[in-house]
């Protein structure tokens, strides 16, 4: 959820390589961000309100199952939808440059007009595109619709990578509750190792994305810490009032 703004499927191309991380790395980041945050916060919240660490582990594992399926299966279906959307829009453009040639020509002039390029200056480009219908369709897909061809088999791999990363991230905060019987001790251990994991993960992410490692580390720690603090306070309040 954390990474909604960095979708791998709709990102533009980076010909200059301003941001060189691969799609797999981005999927791992998406899964780990949430996996480290939500199960951690849920476990912290429950640990203050229920007596048994058994229930904390149970709830944590149920959340990891639910979250990884929602992210993985949801991401898979969304990616497949994107791929189908691309194909259907492409067929539409292929038809339109034949059936509505004049309109499509006009659209090219309009694209260039946004950048103060006159019809006369754009005309040679249009002439060149008309020589090569495939290139013309490619051009319209990218410059008119802002769509790029999704990589084949992307959906499967992406869904699996995100789900596994979510599970791996989610197991870190739960480990102490599995190993230590006392909830309060487990909570303290969980807070320490998870905030540490969030900091390391945030720093690595910041290095990769180029936003600076310190700032990125502080942000991931802030999100995880805030979520855990609110969940903890809420669960404690509810528990006190309803018992």
Q: Closest separation between CB of residue 60 and a second copy, Å? A: 9
Kindly tell me which residue out of 24, 62, 87, 181 binds a second copy, with binding defined by CB under 8 A.
62
Binding to a second copy (CB under 8 A) within 158-187 occurs at: 162
Q: Is 30 in the site for a second copy (CB under 8 A)?
A: yes
Q: Is 217 in the site for a second copy (CB under 8 A)?
A: no
Q: Is 41 in the site for a second copy (CB under 8 A)?
A: yes
**Whole-angstrom distance, CA of residue 132 vs CA of residue 24:** 34
Total residues contacting a second copy (rule CB under 8 A)? Answer: 101
Q: Secondary structure of 21-62 in the HEC alphabet? A: CCHHHHHHHHHHHHHHHHHHHHHHHHHCCCCCHHHHHHHHHH
Binding to a second copy (CB under 8 A) within 77-116 occurs at: 77-79, 81-82, 84-85, 89, 107, 110-112, 114-116
**Whole-angstrom distance, CA of residue 43 vs CA of residue 99:** 60
**Whole-angstrom distance, CA of residue 93 vs CA of residue 133:** 10
Segments of 84-207 assigned E as strands = none
Q: Is 147 in the site for a second copy (CB under 8 A)?
A: yes
Backbone angles phi, psi at 73, to 5 degrees: -65, -40
Q: Which stretch binds a second copy (CB under 8 A): 71-79, 180-188, 193-201?
A: 71-79
Q: Is 1 in the site for a second copy (CB under 8 A)?
A: yes
């Amino acid at each position: 959820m954390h990474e909604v703004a960095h979708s791998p499927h709709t990102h533009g191309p980076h010909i200059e390589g301003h941001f060189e991380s691969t799609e797999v790395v981005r999927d791992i980041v998406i899964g780990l961000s949430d996996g480290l945050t939500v199960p951690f916060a849920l476990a912290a919240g429950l640990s203050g309100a229920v007596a048994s660490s058994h229930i904390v582990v149970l709830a944590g594992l149920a959340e990891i199952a639910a979250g990884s399926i929602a992210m993985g299966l949801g991401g898979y279906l969304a990616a497949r939808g994107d791929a189908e959307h691309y194909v259907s829009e492409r067929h539409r453009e292929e038809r339109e440059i034949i059936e509505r040639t004049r309109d499509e020509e006009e659209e090219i002039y309009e694209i260039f007009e946004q950048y103060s390029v006159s019809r006369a200056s754009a005309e040679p480009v249009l002439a060149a595109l008309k020589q090569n219908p495939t290139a013309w369709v490619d051009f319209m897909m990218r410059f008119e619709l802002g769509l790029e061809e999704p990589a084949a088999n992307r959906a499967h791999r992406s869904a699996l990578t995100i789900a596994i990363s979510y599970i791996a991230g989610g197991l870190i905060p739960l480990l102490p509750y599995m190993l230590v019987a006392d909830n309060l001790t487990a909570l303290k251990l969980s807070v320490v190792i998870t905030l540490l994991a969030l900091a390391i993960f945030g720093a690595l992410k910041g290095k990769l994305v180029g936003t600076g490692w310190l700032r990125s580390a502080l942000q991931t720690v802030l999100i995880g810490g805030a979520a855990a603090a609110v969940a903890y306070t809420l669960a404690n309040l509810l528990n006190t009032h309803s018992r």
